[in-house]
Structure 1
Protein backbone atom coordinates (compact mmCIF):
# COMPACT_ATOMS: atom_id res chain seq x y z
CA UNK A 1 0.00 0.00 0.00
CA UNK A 2 1.34 3.43 -0.93
CA UNK A 3 1.96 6.17 1.59
CA UNK A 4 -1.61 7.44 1.63
CA UNK A 5 -2.06 10.87 3.12
CA UNK A 6 1.61 11.82 2.68
CA UNK A 7 1.45 15.15 0.88
CA UNK A 8 5.09 14.82 0.00
CA UNK A 9 4.51 11.61 -1.98
CA UNK A 10 4.18 12.22 -5.70
CA UNK A 11 0.70 10.93 -6.52
CA UNK A 12 0.85 11.16 -10.30
CA UNK A 13 4.30 9.52 -10.58
CA UNK A 14 5.59 11.92 -13.24
CA UNK A 15 9.26 12.10 -12.44
CA UNK A 16 12.02 13.90 -14.25
CA UNK A 17 14.30 11.92 -16.52
CA UNK A 18 16.83 11.13 -13.80
CA UNK A 19 14.18 9.59 -11.53
CA UNK A 20 14.27 12.44 -9.02
CA UNK A 21 11.18 14.35 -8.00
CA UNK A 22 12.30 17.95 -7.85
CA UNK A 23 8.99 19.73 -8.41
CA UNK A 24 7.91 22.24 -5.73
CA UNK A 25 5.43 20.80 -3.22
CA UNK A 26 3.74 22.25 -0.14
CA UNK A 27 0.81 20.96 1.86
CA UNK A 28 -0.65 20.04 5.20
CA UNK A 29 0.08 16.71 6.82
CA UNK A 30 -2.06 17.24 9.94
CA UNK A 31 -3.72 19.96 11.99
CA UNK A 32 -4.63 19.93 15.66
CA UNK A 33 -5.28 21.85 18.87
CA UNK A 34 -1.89 22.06 20.55
CA UNK A 35 -3.01 24.02 23.61
CA UNK A 36 -6.38 25.30 24.78
CA UNK A 37 -7.15 27.14 28.00
CA UNK A 38 -10.70 28.27 28.67
CA UNK A 39 -11.59 30.14 31.86
CA UNK A 40 -14.93 31.41 33.13
CA UNK A 41 -13.61 32.91 36.39
CA UNK A 42 -16.68 34.79 37.62
CA UNK A 43 -19.45 32.37 36.71
CA UNK A 44 -22.25 32.24 37.71
CA UNK A 45 -22.21 35.91 38.79
CA UNK A 46 -21.02 37.03 35.34
CA UNK A 47 -24.26 35.74 33.77
CA UNK A 48 -26.12 38.46 35.71
CA UNK A 49 -23.90 41.37 34.64
CA UNK A 50 -25.70 43.88 32.44
CA UNK A 51 -22.82 45.86 30.91
CA UNK A 52 -21.51 44.78 27.51
CA UNK A 53 -18.08 43.15 27.63
CA UNK A 54 -15.02 44.54 25.91
CA UNK A 55 -13.27 41.89 23.80
CA UNK A 56 -9.48 41.94 23.44
CA UNK A 57 -8.19 39.68 20.64
CA UNK A 58 -4.49 38.98 20.14
CA UNK A 59 -2.98 36.92 17.30
CA UNK A 60 0.50 35.54 16.79
CA UNK A 61 2.03 33.15 14.28
CA UNK A 62 4.88 30.84 15.16
CA UNK A 63 6.87 28.22 13.27
CA UNK A 64 8.94 25.34 14.59
CA UNK A 65 11.02 23.17 12.23
CA UNK A 66 10.34 19.45 12.75
CA UNK A 67 12.65 18.10 10.04
CA UNK A 68 14.22 19.29 6.79
CA UNK A 69 10.89 19.08 4.97
CA UNK A 70 8.31 19.42 7.78
CA UNK A 71 7.50 22.44 9.94
CA UNK A 72 4.89 23.06 12.61
CA UNK A 73 2.95 26.30 12.12
CA UNK A 74 1.19 27.66 15.20
CA UNK A 75 -1.69 30.12 15.10
CA UNK A 76 -1.99 31.58 18.60
CA UNK A 77 -5.19 33.38 19.58
CA UNK A 78 -5.97 34.99 22.91
CA UNK A 79 -9.53 36.22 23.47
CA UNK A 80 -10.30 38.03 26.72
CA UNK A 81 -13.70 39.50 27.57
CA UNK A 82 -13.96 41.97 30.43
CA UNK A 83 -16.53 44.44 31.69
CA UNK A 84 -16.67 46.92 34.56
CA UNK A 85 -17.66 44.14 36.96
CA UNK A 86 -14.64 41.97 36.10
CA UNK A 87 -13.34 39.28 33.76
CA UNK A 88 -16.05 37.47 31.79
CA UNK A 89 -13.89 34.85 30.07
CA UNK A 90 -10.34 34.16 28.94
CA UNK A 91 -9.46 31.85 26.06
CA UNK A 92 -5.95 30.96 24.94
CA UNK A 93 -5.68 28.75 21.86
CA UNK A 94 -2.68 27.41 19.98
CA UNK A 95 -3.98 25.76 16.82
CA UNK A 96 -1.20 24.09 14.86
CA UNK A 97 -0.55 22.27 11.63
CA UNK A 98 2.27 20.16 10.29
CA UNK A 99 3.30 21.51 6.91
CA UNK A 100 5.41 19.62 4.42
CA UNK A 101 7.52 21.64 1.99
CA UNK A 102 9.84 20.29 -0.66
CA UNK A 103 11.79 22.03 -3.43
CA UNK A 104 10.47 25.55 -2.76
CA UNK A 105 12.81 28.55 -2.75
CA UNK A 106 13.34 29.91 0.78
CA UNK A 107 11.33 33.12 0.20
CA UNK A 108 8.32 31.16 -1.11
CA UNK A 109 8.57 28.62 1.70
CA UNK A 110 8.69 31.46 4.25
CA UNK A 111 5.61 33.07 2.70
CA UNK A 112 3.76 29.75 2.71
CA UNK A 113 4.60 29.15 6.38
CA UNK A 114 3.76 32.66 7.63
CA UNK A 115 0.90 33.74 5.31
CA UNK A 116 -0.76 30.84 3.51
CA UNK A 117 -0.60 28.21 6.28
CA UNK A 118 -2.19 30.54 8.90
CA UNK A 119 -4.88 31.44 6.35
CA UNK A 120 -5.70 27.74 5.96
CA UNK A 121 -5.64 27.08 9.73
CA UNK A 122 -7.71 30.14 10.66
CA UNK A 123 -11.26 28.85 9.94
CA UNK A 124 -10.64 25.83 12.17
CA UNK A 125 -9.20 27.95 14.99
CA UNK A 126 -12.13 30.37 14.58
CA UNK A 127 -14.55 27.49 15.10
CA UNK A 128 -12.73 26.38 18.26
CA UNK A 129 -13.01 29.93 19.69
CA UNK A 130 -16.71 30.15 18.77
CA UNK A 131 -17.44 26.73 20.29
CA UNK A 132 -15.50 27.58 23.46
CA UNK A 133 -17.41 30.82 24.07
CA UNK A 134 -20.71 29.08 23.39
CA UNK A 135 -19.78 26.24 25.75
CA UNK A 136 -18.94 28.84 28.42
CA UNK A 137 -22.57 29.95 28.24
CA UNK A 138 -22.10 33.13 26.17
CA UNK A 139 -22.81 34.16 22.61
CA UNK A 140 -20.31 32.49 20.23
CA UNK A 141 -17.42 34.84 19.48
CA UNK A 142 -17.21 34.97 15.68
CA UNK A 143 -13.75 36.31 14.88
CA UNK A 144 -13.68 38.33 11.66
CA UNK A 145 -11.58 36.95 8.79
CA UNK A 146 -7.95 38.08 8.76
CA UNK A 147 -5.88 39.01 5.70
CA UNK A 148 -2.76 37.02 6.59
CA UNK A 149 -1.16 37.72 3.21
CA UNK A 150 -1.65 41.46 3.67
CA UNK A 151 -0.23 41.27 7.20
CA UNK A 152 2.74 39.28 5.90
CA UNK A 153 3.48 41.84 3.18
CA UNK A 154 3.08 44.68 5.70
CA UNK A 155 5.54 42.97 8.06
CA UNK A 156 8.08 42.51 5.22
CA UNK A 157 7.84 46.21 4.36
CA UNK A 158 8.20 47.15 8.03
CA UNK A 159 11.27 44.92 8.37
CA UNK A 160 12.83 46.41 5.21
CA UNK A 161 12.27 49.94 6.56
CA UNK A 162 13.81 48.99 9.92
CA UNK A 163 16.85 47.49 8.17
CA UNK A 164 17.21 50.60 5.98
CA UNK A 165 17.02 52.87 9.03
CA UNK A 166 19.58 50.68 10.82
CA UNK A 167 21.92 50.85 7.82
CA UNK A 168 21.62 54.66 7.74
CA UNK A 169 22.39 54.93 11.45
CA UNK A 170 25.29 52.51 11.08
CA UNK A 171 26.68 54.53 8.18
CA UNK A 172 26.51 57.81 10.11
CA UNK A 173 28.55 56.55 13.06
Structure 2
Protein backbone atom coordinates (compact mmCIF):
# COMPACT_ATOMS: atom_id res chain seq x y z
CA UNK A 1 0.00 0.00 0.00
CA UNK A 2 2.86 2.39 0.80
CA UNK A 3 4.32 1.63 -2.64
CA UNK A 4 1.00 2.49 -4.30
CA UNK A 5 0.85 5.80 -2.43
CA UNK A 6 4.44 6.62 -3.42
CA UNK A 7 3.70 5.77 -7.06
CA UNK A 8 0.52 7.88 -7.00
CA UNK A 9 2.44 10.77 -5.43
CA UNK A 10 5.06 10.58 -8.20
CA UNK A 11 2.28 11.06 -10.75
CA UNK A 12 0.89 14.16 -9.01
CA UNK A 13 1.37 17.46 -10.86
CA UNK A 14 4.25 19.39 -9.29
CA UNK A 15 5.62 22.90 -9.65
CA UNK A 16 8.50 24.26 -7.60
CA UNK A 17 11.02 27.09 -7.55
CA UNK A 18 14.49 25.64 -7.16
CA UNK A 19 16.56 28.82 -7.52
CA UNK A 20 16.25 32.49 -8.57
CA UNK A 21 19.47 34.24 -9.55
CA UNK A 22 21.08 37.02 -11.60
CA UNK A 23 22.61 35.32 -14.64
CA UNK A 24 24.09 38.43 -16.25
CA UNK A 25 24.28 42.10 -15.31
CA UNK A 26 25.56 45.09 -17.25
CA UNK A 27 25.64 48.82 -16.57
CA UNK A 28 27.02 51.46 -18.89
CA UNK A 29 27.20 55.22 -18.27
CA UNK A 30 29.11 56.17 -21.43
CA UNK A 31 28.82 59.95 -21.08
CA UNK A 32 29.76 60.30 -17.42
CA UNK A 33 30.61 62.65 -15.81
CA UNK A 34 29.25 65.24 -18.28
CA UNK A 35 25.81 63.60 -18.34
CA UNK A 36 25.33 64.43 -14.64
CA UNK A 37 25.46 68.15 -15.49
CA UNK A 38 22.48 67.91 -17.88
CA UNK A 39 19.26 68.90 -16.18
CA UNK A 40 16.90 67.66 -18.88
CA UNK A 41 14.49 64.82 -18.22
CA UNK A 42 15.72 61.69 -19.97
CA UNK A 43 13.61 59.39 -22.13
CA UNK A 44 13.43 55.83 -20.83
CA UNK A 45 13.12 52.81 -23.12
CA UNK A 46 12.48 49.28 -21.90
CA UNK A 47 12.92 46.00 -23.78
CA UNK A 48 11.85 42.63 -22.47
CA UNK A 49 12.48 39.07 -23.55
CA UNK A 50 12.42 35.61 -22.05
CA UNK A 51 13.71 32.15 -22.86
CA UNK A 52 13.11 28.72 -21.42
CA UNK A 53 15.58 25.83 -21.54
CA UNK A 54 15.01 22.30 -20.35
CA UNK A 55 17.92 21.28 -18.11
CA UNK A 56 16.76 17.73 -17.45
CA UNK A 57 13.48 15.85 -17.27
CA UNK A 58 11.02 18.13 -15.44
CA UNK A 59 13.60 20.85 -14.69
CA UNK A 60 13.75 24.12 -16.63
CA UNK A 61 15.68 27.37 -16.58
CA UNK A 62 13.67 30.47 -17.44
CA UNK A 63 15.69 33.61 -18.16
CA UNK A 64 14.09 37.04 -18.33
CA UNK A 65 16.15 39.73 -20.09
CA UNK A 66 15.30 43.34 -19.22
CA UNK A 67 17.12 46.20 -20.93
CA UNK A 68 16.56 49.78 -19.76
CA UNK A 69 18.00 52.61 -21.85
CA UNK A 70 17.93 56.26 -20.79
CA UNK A 71 18.72 59.04 -23.27
CA UNK A 72 18.78 62.83 -23.33
CA UNK A 73 18.50 63.93 -26.95
CA UNK A 74 20.77 61.40 -28.69
CA UNK A 75 23.19 60.93 -25.77
CA UNK A 76 22.90 57.78 -23.71
CA UNK A 77 22.54 58.55 -20.01
CA UNK A 78 22.72 54.91 -18.96
CA UNK A 79 22.12 51.44 -20.30
CA UNK A 80 21.27 48.59 -17.93
CA UNK A 81 20.73 44.98 -18.93
CA UNK A 82 19.79 42.29 -16.46
CA UNK A 83 19.22 38.63 -17.16
CA UNK A 84 17.30 37.37 -14.16
CA UNK A 85 16.84 33.62 -14.22
CA UNK A 86 15.21 30.87 -12.27
CA UNK A 87 15.31 27.10 -12.15
CA UNK A 88 11.87 25.53 -11.89
CA UNK A 89 10.66 21.99 -11.38
CA UNK A 90 7.62 21.18 -13.49
CA UNK A 91 6.49 17.55 -13.43
CA UNK A 92 3.45 15.55 -14.55
CA UNK A 93 1.81 18.49 -16.28
CA UNK A 94 0.51 18.36 -19.89
CA UNK A 95 2.93 19.92 -22.42
CA UNK A 96 0.56 22.75 -23.43
CA UNK A 97 0.30 23.75 -19.78
CA UNK A 98 4.09 23.52 -19.34
CA UNK A 99 4.54 26.04 -22.16
CA UNK A 100 2.09 28.42 -20.45
CA UNK A 101 3.87 28.00 -17.10
CA UNK A 102 7.27 28.69 -18.72
CA UNK A 103 5.92 31.70 -20.66
CA UNK A 104 3.70 33.27 -17.99
CA UNK A 105 4.01 31.86 -14.46
CA UNK A 106 7.81 31.71 -14.29
CA UNK A 107 8.39 35.22 -15.74
CA UNK A 108 5.81 36.56 -13.26
CA UNK A 109 7.87 35.05 -10.43
CA UNK A 110 11.21 36.33 -11.79
CA UNK A 111 10.17 39.86 -12.82
CA UNK A 112 10.05 41.45 -9.32
CA UNK A 113 13.64 40.32 -8.75
CA UNK A 114 14.73 41.87 -12.06
CA UNK A 115 12.84 45.08 -11.24
CA UNK A 116 14.60 45.37 -7.86
CA UNK A 117 18.03 44.63 -9.37
CA UNK A 118 17.56 47.30 -12.06
CA UNK A 119 16.32 49.94 -9.63
CA UNK A 120 19.20 49.24 -7.23
CA UNK A 121 21.83 49.30 -9.98
CA UNK A 122 20.56 52.57 -11.47
CA UNK A 123 20.53 54.17 -8.02
CA UNK A 124 24.10 52.97 -7.36
CA UNK A 125 25.12 54.56 -10.67
CA UNK A 126 24.02 57.95 -9.27
CA UNK A 127 20.60 58.29 -10.89
CA UNK A 128 17.08 58.34 -9.47
CA UNK A 129 15.60 54.83 -9.39
CA UNK A 130 13.61 53.59 -12.36
CA UNK A 131 10.54 51.70 -11.18
CA UNK A 132 9.34 49.32 -13.86
CA UNK A 133 5.59 48.89 -14.16
CA UNK A 134 4.14 45.41 -13.82
CA UNK A 135 4.14 43.37 -17.03
CA UNK A 136 1.21 41.32 -18.29
CA UNK A 137 3.10 38.18 -19.30
CA UNK A 138 -0.17 36.41 -20.12
CA UNK A 139 -0.93 39.01 -22.82
CA UNK A 140 2.65 38.79 -24.16
CA UNK A 141 2.40 34.99 -24.26
CA UNK A 142 -0.94 35.16 -26.10
CA UNK A 143 0.56 37.62 -28.59
CA UNK A 144 3.55 35.32 -29.20
CA UNK A 145 1.22 32.34 -29.68
CA UNK A 146 -0.90 34.30 -32.18
CA UNK A 147 2.21 35.34 -34.12
CA UNK A 148 3.51 31.76 -34.14
CA UNK A 149 0.12 30.50 -35.37
CA UNK A 150 -0.04 33.19 -38.07
CA UNK A 151 3.51 32.39 -39.20
CA UNK A 152 2.70 28.68 -39.22
CA UNK A 153 -0.41 29.29 -41.31
CA UNK A 154 1.52 31.29 -43.93
CA UNK A 155 4.22 28.61 -44.25
CA UNK A 156 1.75 25.91 -45.30
Whether TM-score is above 0.5 comes out as yes
Report the TM-score when normalising by structure 1: 0.83
Q: Which runs of 5+ in 2 are unaligned?
A: none
Equivalent pair of 1:71/1:100 in contact (CA under 8 Å): yes
Whole-angstrom CA distance in 1 between matches of 2:110 and 2:124? 21
Q: Which runs of 5+ in 1 are unaligned?
A: 1-14, 168-173
Whole-angstrom CA distance in 2 between matches of 1:40 and 1:161? 40
Whole-angstrom CA distance in 2 between matches of 1:119 and 1:72? 14
Q: Secondary structure at the match of 2:98?
A: helix
Aligned positions of 1:7-156 closer than 5 A: 17=4, 19-20=6-7, 21-84=10-73, 86-156=75-145
- Structure 1 stretches of 4+ with a deviation exceeding 6 A read none
Q: How many residues align?
A: 153
**RCO higher in 1 or 2 (8 Å CA, sep ≥ 6)?**
2
RMSD of equivalent CA atoms = 1.5
Q: Secondary structure at the match of 1:55?
A: strand
- Which structure: greater strand fraction? 2
Equivalent pair of 1:32/1:97 in contact (CA under 8 Å): yes
Report the TM-score when normalising by structure 2: 0.92
